[in-house]
Amino acid sequence: MRTTVGIIGAGPAGLLLARLLHDAGIDSVVLESRDRAYVEQRQRAGILEQGTVDVLRAAGAGERMDREGLPHDGIELRFAGRRHRVDFPALTGGRSVTVYAQTEVCKDLIALQLRDGGPLLFEAEALAVEDTDSPRVRFRHEGAEGVLECDYVVGCDGFWGVARKAIPAELTQVFERTYPFGWLGILADVAPSHDELVYARHDRGFALLSMRSPSVSRLYLQVPAGTEAEEWGDEEIWDELERRFETADGWRLERGPITQKSVTPMRSYVHEPMRHGRLFLAGDAAHIVPPTGAKGLNLAVGDVVTFARALVHREETGSAELLDAYSATCLRRVWQAERFSYDMTTMLHRVPGATPFEDRLQLARLERIAGSRAAETDLAEGYTGFPFG
């Protein structure tokens, strides 16, 4: 097989890149190791920045998002029994976010790709990227090995993918931090108990109330690293969530049948550079943020928009300047999101064994946001998104 751009991975990054290239008249082939059902049901992110919404609309993937997505103008912070709402448009000159699950983004992009895009091969596992100057992707599909020859290859294969390994270790710098906790996430058939997301800092640990629709809630509970979802019974989860969302005004958390339960580990990770020869990395293949800041999918979108723009520029002008600047351009935005996600995570999660001094510091950071427009604006700007490169 031969194509202009070989794309490894059909998550949000790989699927959106295929669409952007198609719209620019550039052919690509997407190799995805799992089957379509897996990709379309894998519960992960749920918040789209305005920039992401705009890109999806321009790519023709906005029709259902505009119909079913939930525009949100703020979030609520909870701490020490208090409630503080952060008003995004008032603090950012009109920006907001949209609640629309990445499972739905992937379904919409897969439908477009199958309708009029290039080859999207499911259950096609990339085994290795060879010769990054004249890239070849060795892959296994339907029991046979194949080779995809391409002018460029973009690793959109997530944290556990293979593309990153093709960059020589001696040219690589990895920055990472793991956390002693993760998130136990549930989907529940019950109307969300609040009309916006609620981020709660509690002495027992962090909790987050989010949603998927007016009748489906998505909630998360900080748990120790290594926790298995099966360790928690349904009523135990609701009891703990209730404790952590408690407020002085007696706000109530509505319960309902839990339909899905899973644990997400917590990690900060950046792989530099994000390009080697004609191999480019995008999305979780290059960087991971703790989900507290809801940046993961939005960073992936920024990366592939940057790559597509750079390749179109190369095709139109012959200049590789934007391709040469790809890594630096993406990393400027990645590091801002890493900083924001780290700040949100360390402010809201109670580390086991935290000292009374550290507890007070967390409350002081939250008090600062509740009492300072400047501090509140920093959170609102980070949450609604940093400009694309």
Residues that bind ligand APR (CB under 6 A): 8-14, 31-34, 39, 44-45, 102, 125-126, 156-158, 160-162, 283-284, 296-297, 300
Active-site position among 271, 291, 326, 349: 291
CA angle 325, 327, 333 (to 5 degrees): 105
Active-site position among 199, 276, 287, 349: 199
266 binds ligand PHB (CB under 6 A): no
Catalytic, 291? Answer: yes
384 binds ligand PHB (CB under 6 A): no
Q: At its nearest, how many Å lie between ligand PHB and the CB of residue 7?
A: 25
What's CA 180's distance to the chain center, in Å? 20
Binding mask 198-217 for ligand PHB (x = CB under 6 A): ------------x-------
Separation between Cα atoms, residue 103 and residue 121, nearest integer Å: 18
The residues that bridge with 70 in the sheet, in sequence order, are 99
Catalytic, 295? Answer: yes
* Listed residue (15, 316, 314, 354) closest to 156, CA to CA: 15
User: DSSP string spanning 189-235?
Assistant: SS--SSSSEEEEE-TT--EEEEEEETTEEEEEEEEETT--GGGS-HH
Identity of the residue, 144 or 248, whose beta carbon is nearer to ligand APR in the bound complex: 144
Binds ligand PHB (CB under 6 A): choice among 18, 21, 47, 166: 47
User: DSSP string spanning 49-100?
Assistant: EHHHHHHHHHTT--HHHHHH-EEE-EEEEEETTEEEEEEHHHHHTS--EEE-
Largest alpha-carbon pair distance within the chain?
A: 64
Report how many residues bind ligand PHB under the rule CB under 6 A.
9
Identity of the residue, 164 or 218, whose beta carbon is nearer to ligand PHB in the bound complex: 218
Binds ligand PHB (CB under 6 A): choice among 6, 14, 46, 382: 46
The three-class DSSP label of residue 238 is helix
The three-class DSSP label of residue 285 is helix
Catalytic, 383? Answer: yes
Catalytic, 199? Answer: yes
291 binds ligand PHB (CB under 6 A): yes
Active-site position among 12, 22, 72, 192: 72
Separation between Cα atoms, residue 73 and residue 96, nearest integer Å: 5
Q: At its nearest, how many Å lie between ligand APR and the CB of residue 367?
A: 30
Binds ligand PHB (CB under 6 A): choice among 201, 218, 244, 271: 218
Separation between Cα atoms, residue 130 and residue 179, nearest integer Å: 34
Q: At its nearest, how many Å lie between ligand APR and the CB of residue 17?
A: 9
Q: At its nearest, how many Å lie between ligand APR and the CB of residue 216?
A: 18
Q: Report whether 44 contacts 55 (CB < 8 A).
A: no
Binder of residue 46, out of ligand APR, ligand PHB, none (CB less than 5 to 8 A by kind): ligand PHB
Catalytic residue numbers, as ranges = 72, 199, 291, 295, 383
- List residues near ligand PHB by CB under 6 A: 45-47, 197, 210, 218, 291-292, 294
